[in-house]
Amino acid sequence: MEVSWLYLIPLLPLLGAAVNGLVGRFLPKAWLYAVALLVVLLSFCIGLFAWFEVARLPGESAQLRQLVYTWFSVGSLRVDLGLTFDRLSGTLVLVVTGVGFLIHLYSVGYMDEDPAYWRYFAYLNLFVSMMLLLVLADNLVAMFVGWEGVGLCSYLLVGFWYDDETKAYAGRKAFIVNRIGDFGFLIGIFVLYFYTGQVGFQALKVAPLSLGVASAAAALLFVGATGKSAQLPLYVWLPDAMAGPTPVSALIHAATMVTAGVYMVARLSFLYVQAPGVMAVVATIGILTALLGAVIGTAQMDIKRVLAYSTVSQLGYMFVGVGVGAFAAGTAHLITHSFFKACLFLGSGAVIHGLHGEQDLSRMGGLRRAGLKHTAATFFVATVAITGVLPISGFFSKDEILAQALNTRAFDFLTVLPDPGSPRLSFLGPTIYLVGTLTALITSFYMWRCYLLAFEGEYRGPAEVHPHEAPWVMTLPVWILAALSVVGALIVLPGHDLRFTWEHFTEGLFARTRGGAPAERLPELVAFGIALVVAWAGFATAWSLYAPGRALEGDERIARVSPGLRKALAASLYVDALYDRLVVKPLWATARTLWRVVDATLIDGLLVNGTAQAVASVGSVLRRFQNGDVQRYAAVTAVGVLILVYVFLVRG
Amino acid sequence: MVGPLHYLFLGAALFALGGVGVVLRRNALIVLMSIELMLNAVNLTFLTFSRFPLVKSAPTQAGFLSGHTAVFFVIAVAAAEAAVGLAIVIAVFRSRSSVNVDEFDTLKF
């Protein structure tokens, strides 16, 4: 159905960004807050209205569309700024604006004392606008604009306190690592355009693609997703991105932007099912990232870094979901994750706020009884959700992904090597299930470790810091998110006859994999039982090491048993050091060579200054002739005339 | 019998003397006078070719009148040149108290 008001959804936050960014510093604080919050709230209301419209419409036609204008038209390429509001993008619009509004509200409390609050809110509004464009775009080019826009906002907000060199560096790192992925994304768009002449999702959906083209495009677009969504091997920017203000970590680096890659794969499900090999890669990268993030998360001492590695790990789960063809399960986890992870991050923000900037878990402890009652309670709820010790949102959405991975038939007809005699890839799904279950165990362990270290036991921080609870503008959004983490379970409840589940809601939206109906390798109840046992096992391990009163004994015990492992984990398995050695240092060396040799010597020295020096030295010889003696000029002229006369008259 | 060659050699000699004077003499007034000499040498050459035309079918008995015309132009220009030149020499003398052309060498580098 064509409508004429969809453009308001991304436009309003953009206007807010313009107002706040251009005149924000001259406005009274209350006005600026009103503008920043109202535009997002209005976007949310329009989104909600549109969502109910879409929910009423039946099946596949359930979408609102608007062609805002034709952006450009060159030769056979026509790029429209077109928006599509269907059940997937619509729900994400609600998540982005809804969670976004809560985080804006929270930021009012968190950033109130920062002198650059107006800049912060301008960036935050701009981010919401770009994210909405990314989600609503109906073609790859417009999506790429949003894709780059959120990357820009991420850079601006990670390096928000840019006078701190490490934070500015983290911002640059986030941007540059993302650029590597974006390069792949861009080439992927080119490949699709080159072979089909189309960039719109609707047109691409029906365009015939050979296996090679589909695989190349899908793989290249996935490179973009590994950058944006912090997957192996490009995940390294996300933990450092925690240098930004905590609400930013919640909004951009947990709930919305980093899930853009998952959304993109789900949006292009029709493309990915045509490239089953790439889907196997997506799922494999996803599960490896999930495991790696969880393992590193077990030894981090910075509360935000624990959550960052947890985000990396959970994003890995989402890619497992979309990689095995369970697009609904992957995106459902995206939604529930945005609730509980935003809640966790905002909770950590309240802790940092209450401890005047302290982020180190070793100087926390006992915060629940030290006054941070609301924060502790909400953090507890969100931890339950992510670890799955009780069946609320995270339990179901994660378990659905693992079950789908176990039962998938998407890889049954793939072989390990191109040779038809080599073994089939059908072992991949069950392997992913096993690794994923192990990851769930580790997830439960490190999240409970984090909760126990921060909120239980005795306070270990310096005596002069008195922990205090955050104001209501900060606790209210966290409580709402905690409630959503619980209620969110409704949309991911198992049971295929429930009409309100995400799977039912998005029926027909995603393409189906070639493998056919999933196998029933494990009864559903058994899978749930295993998931529950695993979650409790993780909790029990965490409790045995970090039970209240034991303080940091757990870490010391691990360090005693295996000092090398503990050190490696705390240093993030030396991946950053490895990248530094393999990529950053050689790049710096190359750049320095180019600067010293090519730029300074060749271009500046030889070409620029060389030309000038050549002219100057010729001139220093020639200026001897310009001595100002008119009579000598006359003599030279006379001699010249005589020579000419001789040449032309006497000899000629 | 005085023929065209006599006039031409005289003209060439005067021109050469004038040229040498322009190049070698250091007094600005003498330089100007040498220029006059060169111009008049040219005038003499013009008139010579006017009196003894190289082409036989001359329109008048006295030969081409264009030579005379050119001479009148040269005389007019020479008069103007002498006036301007002397004025410059006087102006330079007022500022430098000298008419030695070797000292007027600021027109360099």
Read off the pLDDT band of A610 (50, 70, 90): very high
pLDDT at residue A130, as a whole number: 95
Between residues B106 and A469, the one the model is more confident about: A469
Residue among B22, B31, B108 whose CB faces A628 most closely: B108
Rounded to an integer, the average pLDDT of A613-633 is: 85
Q: Which helix (H) or strand (E) holds A312?
A: helix A303-323
Structural domains of chain B, count: 1
Longest dimension (CA), chain A: 118
CATH of the domain at B52: 1.10.287.3510
Q: Is residue B80 part of a domain?
A: yes
In degrees and rounded to multiples of 5, residue A392 shows phi and psi of -115, -165
Q: Is the dihedral of CA A503, A505, A506, A508 positive or negative?
A: positive
pLDDT at B106: 72
Structure confidence at residue B108 (pLDDT): 62
What is the rounded average pLDDT for all residues in chain A? 89
Q: What are phi and psi of A161, to 5 degrees?
A: -90, 70
- Give the model's pLDDT for residue A33: 92
Is B23 within 8 Å of A635 when comparing Cβ atoms?
A: yes
What integer is the mean pLDDT of A447-460?
89
Half-sphere exposure of B9 (CA within 13 A, CB side): 5
pTM, 2 dp: 0.80
Q: Nearest C-alpha of chain A: how many angstroms from B62? A: 28
Sort A67 into a burial class: Cβ within 10 Å, 0-12 / 13-18 / 19+: middle
| Minimum-distance CB partner of A630 among B19, B101, B109 | B101
Whether the CB-CB separation of B14 and B47 falls below 8 Å is answered with no
Percentage of residues in chain A with pLDDT exceeding 70? 99
Residues A397, A321: Cα–Cα separation, whole Å: 10
Instruction: Give the model confidence (pLDDT) of A370-393 as tens digits.
Output: 888 899 999 999 999 999 888 888
DSSP H or E segment with residue A411: none
pLDDT digits (tens, 9 = 90+) for A550-589: 777 788 888 888 888 888 888 888 888 888 899 889 999 9
A627 contacts in B (CB within 8 Å)?
105, 108
For residue A224, what are its two tokens? 């973009």
User: Cα(A217)–Cα(A193) distance, rounded to whole angstroms?
Assistant: 10
Look at residue B108 and tell me if it is in a domain: no
Q: Would you place residue B58 in the very low, low, confident or very high pLDDT band (cuts 50, 70, 90)?
A: low
pLDDT at A450: 92
Question: Cβ of A626 and B109 within 8 Å?
Answer: yes
Dist CA A168 CA A170 (whole Å): 5
Return the residue matching tokens 């006497």.
Answer: A650
State the Cα–Cα distance between residues A603 and A216, nearest whole angstrom: 39
**pLDDT at position A651, please?**
82
User: From the CA atom positions of chain A, what is the Rg in Å?
Assistant: 30
**Which residue of B lies nearest to A637 if distances are taken between CA atoms?**
B23
Among A249-253, A341-345, B54-58, which is the least confidently predicted range?
Answer: B54-58
pLDDT of residue A628: 75
Domains in chain A: boundaries? 285-364+375-570, 580-651
3-state secondary structure of A369: coil
CB A205 within 8 A of CB A270: yes
H or E element at residue A486: helix A472-487
pLDDT in the model for residue B107: 64
Band (B63; pLDDT cuts 50, 70, 90): low
Res A553: pLDDT: 79
Distance CA A359, CA A349 (A): 9
Q: Which of A40-49, A460-469, B59-68 has the highest mean pLDDT?
A: A40-49
String of DSSP letters for A214-270: HHHHHHHHHHHHHHHTT-TTSTTHHHHGGGS-HHHHHIIIIISGGGHHHHHHHHTHH
Residues A285-326: pLDDT tens digits? Answer: 999 999 999 999 988 889 999 999 999 999 999 999 999 988
Of A308, A316, A310, A267, nearest in space to A288 by CA: A316
Q: Which residue of B has its CA nearest to A622?
A: B109
DSSP character at residue A417: S
Residues of chain A neighbouring B105 (CB-CB closer than 8 A): 627-629
How far A187 CA sits from the closest chain B CA (Å)?
59
pLDDT tops 80 at residue A528 = yes
Residue B59 has pLDDT above 70, yes or no: no
Q: Is residue B77 part of a domain?
A: yes
pLDDT exceeds cutoff 70 at A548: yes
List the single range of A107-116, A490-499, A508-517 with lowest mean pLDDT.
Answer: A490-499
| Contact residues on chain A for B22, CB-CB shorter than 8 A | 631, 634
Which of chain A's residues have a Cβ under 8 Å away from the Cβ of B101? Answer: 629-631
Q: What is d(CA A142, CA A199) in angstroms, rounded to the nearest whole number?
A: 9
Contact A331, A262 (CB under 8 A): yes
Domain of residue B69, residue span: 4-102
Find the CB nearest B19 among A627, A629, A638. A638
- Which residues in A lie closer than 8 A to residue B23 (C-beta atoms)? 631-632, 634-635, 638
pLDDT of A76 strictly over 90: no
Residues of B in contact with A645 (CB under 8 A): none
Inform me whether the pLDDT recorded for A596 exceeds 80: yes
pLDDT of residue A143: 94
pLDDT of residue A140: 93
Q: Sorting pLDDT into bands at 50, 70 and 90, what band is A356?
A: confident
The answer to whether the Cβ–Cβ distance between A638 and B23 falls below 8 Å is: yes
Cβ–Cβ contact B28 with A under 8 A: no
Helices (H), A355-413: 373-387, 393-407
What confidence tier does B71 reach under pLDDT thresholds 50, 70, 90? Answer: very high
Does residue B109 lie within any of the structural domains?
no
Mean pLDDT across chain B: 86
> With left for phi above 0 and alpha for psi between -120 and 50, is residue A29 left, alpha or beta?
alpha
**Cross-strand partners of A12:** none
> Nearest CA to A39 among A80, A60, A63, A10?
A10
Mean pLDDT within B38-66: 78
- Interface residues from chain A to B (CB-CB < 8 Å): 623, 626-632, 634-635, 638
* Residue A496 pLDDT grade (very low, low, confident, very high; cuts 50, 70, 90): low
Q: How high is the pLDDT of residue B57? A: 62
CA torsion, points B50, B52, B57, B59, in degrees to nearest 10?
Answer: 30
Q: At what angle do helices A563-570 and A553-561 cross, to 10 degrees?
A: 120
Mean pLDDT in residue range A616-631: 83
Query: Could you read off the pLDDT of A170-196 as tens digits, one per residue?
Result: 999 999 999 999 999 999 999 999 999
